[in-house]
């Protein structure tokens, strides 16, 4: 299994070959993917909640299943709230991480060029 050092060196060597606009495109794509999956998660939670309300409001559904639907509705709201409260922070951390990686690469490139 390759060490972290070897992987970082290989990635660094590869990053020297890739142009700066191409690197920026890859970083932007990663950020947009994260936002996309974040939004998809929230949409999925909302769909589960809608279906749970349908089960709860159906007169032919047994009480036990209605209670399970209510439990799922509560869990959906808790999960959605958690995603909404943590999401912006996660995106900000990802952005800071990207900026730090770019700064580190620039410093390493300067050391190589000396």
Percent of the chain exceeding pLDDT 70 equals 65
- The string of pLDDT tens digits covering residues 16-37 is 455 566 656 656 655 667 777 7
Structure token pair of residue 20: 């700066």
> What's the CA gap between 68 and 63, in Å, rounded?
9
pTM: 0.53
All structural domains of the chain with their residue ranges? 19-113
Helix axes 63-113, 4-17, angle to 10 degrees: 70
- In the structure, what pLDDT confidence band is assigned to residue 1 with cuts at 50, 70 and 90? very low
For the domain bounded by 19-113, which CATH number is listed? 1.20.58
> What's the CA gap between 6 and 50, in Å, rounded?
49
Percent of the chain exceeding pLDDT 90 equals 31
> What's the CA gap between 42 and 36, in Å, rounded?
10
CB 69 within 8 A of CB 55: yes
- The string of pLDDT tens digits covering residues 61-114 is 999 999 999 999 999 999 888 888 876 676 677 777 777 888 888 877 777 776
């Amino acid at each position: 299994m390759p060490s972290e050092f070897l992987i970082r060196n290989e990635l660094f060597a590869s990053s020297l070959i890739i142009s700066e606009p191409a690197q920026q495109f890859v970083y932007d794509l990663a950020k947009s993917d994260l936002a996309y999956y974040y939004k998809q998660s929230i949409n999925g939670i909302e769909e589960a909640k809608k279906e749970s309300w349908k089960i709860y409001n159906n007169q032919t559904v047994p009480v036990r299943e209605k209670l399970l639907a209510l439990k799922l509705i509560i869990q959906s709201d808790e999960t959605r709230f958690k995603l909404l409260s943590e999401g912006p922070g996660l995106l900000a951390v990802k952005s800071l991480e990207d900026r730090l990686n770019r700064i580190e690469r620039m410093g390493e490139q300067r050391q190589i060029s000396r």
